[in-house]
Structure 1
Amino acid sequence: MKFLKKIAIGVRQLLKDENFLYGIHKVENLVSKVLSIALIIVILFSLFDLVMILSIDLIATEATGFFSKTLIEIFGMFLNILIALELLENITAYLRRHIVQVELVVVTALIAVARKIIIFDPKQYDKIDLIALAIASLALSASYWLIRRMNQHK
């Protein structure tokens, strides 16, 4: 019986607001660090993949051109790495200040939409998809402008 009473007191202590928030803070930090490590691994593998593709395409050149893949696909790979770096910046900014920086998130989203527009294949997608990307780009651009303007006034 004393054992159950001790457990109940311990649980009550853990559920106090400050203790509970401290535990959540620790879990958030741990998750952020694991995400950072996983993202670094993804970036390194993506970079290795890009270097290998470029090296193979440049070494094994054909008379028709330098790259067997289209430049659009190669640009897409570059932008994927850039987006991953932006995500890593978002996570490290969170670890530094423990707040989500909306400006960084909007910039990352804008880069992702721009990447999709750059690699857009009109044969594969409908025109409405391009219109949706344009609207998303305009909305994100307007959001970024508003956030920057608000930050400048502070």
Structure 2
Amino acid sequence: MLAYLKKFERVVVLTLIAMLSIVVLLAVGELGWVLVQDAITPPVLILEIDELLDIFGLFLLVLIGIELLEMMKAYLAEGVVHSEVVLTVALIAIARKIVVLDARDYSGATLVGIGVIIVALAAAYWVIRRARG
């Protein structure tokens, strides 16, 4: 029974890796398309602030996908999810949220909460990095 579950788990992880690879590839294509579209619309080669924020948001989404792929590769190879990689994905995700965030749409408490999340993630990442030497 355990051997069957291990094989099943491996098939599921390989399937997720394949699907995430397709998603990352499509996201890179989308990023390229948005970049070209924004660059060729008048004024040519000048990007507006909202266009830059969209591009940076897409760029960070691609990075999140790459980090998720790295996490799944490590899980496949070692059977363990590394907390450092999980924290890296979380930090990139919160950074993406901050890049595309319009502070006027959120209350002060929400912004403070996001700040607390950032500090907590950074502290956890620092502790793990320091523990590994």
Q: Calculate the TM-score normalised by the size of structure 2.
A: 0.91
Specify the structure having the higher radius of gyration (Cα): 1
- Aligned residues with identical type, % of pairs: 38
Q: CA deviation at 1:109?
A: 0.6
Q: Which runs of 5+ in 1 are unaligned?
A: 1-19
Q: CA RMSD in A?
A: 1.6
1:72-83 paired onto structure 2 within 5 Å: 72-83=53-64
Q: Calculate the TM-score normalised by the size of structure 1.
A: 0.79
Among 77, 87, 90, the alignment partner of 1:106 is 87
Among 66, 73, 96, the alignment partner of 2:46 is 66
Query: Deviations 1:52-76 (Å, cap 9, x if unpaired)?
Result: 111122122327x723543112111
Quick check: 2:38–2:51 contact (8 Å CA) kept in 1? no
Quick check: 1:90–1:100 contact (8 Å CA) kept in 2? yes
Query: Could you tell me which amino acid in structure 2 is paired with residue 150 of structure 1?
Result: A
Partner of 1:130: 111
**Whose RCO is larger (CA < 8 A, sep 6+)?**
2
Runs of 4+ in 1 over 4 A off after TM superposition: none
Q: CA deviation at 1:127?
A: 2.1
Q: CA deviation at 1:21?
A: 2.0
- Tell me how many residue pairs correspond in the alignment: 132
